[in-house]
Copies of this chain bind each other. A is one copy, B any other.
């Protein structure tokens, strides 16, 4: 359980004190505010603040396009139009601020998304908690034999047990040593900024992370993808469920055009056209490499 009773009480106190505002309010998002959505064994995602809603996207687009947008009959149609034509700036007009607790190796992937604001807990300044990510049995996977960058079947029996024992044992020992090195009893005590380097990368850290909706969608598309590492994908999925309640129309357009969408190369367009015209197309006649064809056939059949 990632939260302490004190933290639960603090959240309930924050949720008990609504105040009037003249800003755009998303009812769906108000229901999420401050609450912790648990992810992995000790992680969470919490919405700390947000700006805007579906209407704010439309409003920004109407500034851009002026009265001319009036004949797009409704908000949903306009939002779908913007998403379809990659008009990203109206989506940038919504902003979200999250409090996330996550393992360091996940944080290292996450931070690669540069268009965001971050305040991370400082292990130079403070002492990290004794919390490490240990995969559940259904996440303990072998190296894929076909994909250098993926997982294959789940580990079984003794091998699984051995791995868990290693991960738990090393985490515990490294953390014990971290504390011993820091200790000032009978010794000077190593600097925190040095001692932290002894902790393995499954230790949990936390940060405030703030980004706009356009960049969040980009993050969700890449990190929610089936090729993303499971341990970051579950964060993307948890955030996705929040976004769905925040901006339901934008989410629906995102699902249709990005999550469920497919990008075709010129060659793939040509192959599909030939098929639609009744011709047979094989890898040999497609002009694609074997890798491209494999990906093409996975969607459209051999």
* Residue A133 lies at the interface, judged by CB distance under 8 Å to chain B: yes
A199 pairs with B200, CB closer than 8 A:
yes
Q: Tell me the A23-61 residues at the B interface (CB within 8 Å).
A: 23-25, 30, 33-34, 48-52, 56, 59-61
**Contact of A114 with B by CB under 8 A:** yes
Which residue of B has the minimal Cβ distance to A60? B119
A196 CB contacts on chain B under 8 angstroms: 105, 201
Chain B residues contacting A174 (CB-CB under 8 Å) are: 170, 174, 200
With most chain B CB atoms within 10 A of its CB, the pick from A34, A92, A122, A133 is A122
Chain A interface residue count, CB cutoff 8 Å, equals 136
Query: When the two chains form their complex, are residues A126 and B68 in contact, meaning their CB atoms are under 8 A apart?
Result: yes
In terms of DSSP, what is the predominant structure of the interface of chain A?
mixed
Chain B positions within 8 Å of A300 at CB level: 272-273, 276
Question: Inside 8 A of A52's CB, which chain B residues have their CB?
Answer: 49, 97
Query: Are B210 and A92 closer than 8 Å at their CB atoms?
Result: yes
On whether the beta carbons of B92 and A229 are closer than 8 Å, the reply is no
Report if A302 contacts B (CB, 8 A).
no
| Nearest-neighbor residue (CB-CB) of A287 within chain B | B256
Chain A interface (Cβ < 8 Å from any Cβ of B): 14-15, 17-25, 30, 33-34, 48-52, 56, 59-61, 63-69, 77, 80-81, 84, 86, 89-90, 92-93, 95, 97, 99, 103-105, 107-108, 111-112, 114-115, 117-122, 124-127, 133, 135, 140-144, 148-153, 155-156, 159, 162-163, 166-167, 170, 173-174, 177, 180-182, 184, 187-194, 196-202, 206-208, 210, 212, 222, 229, 255-257, 259-269, 272-273, 275-276, 289, 291-292, 295, 299-301
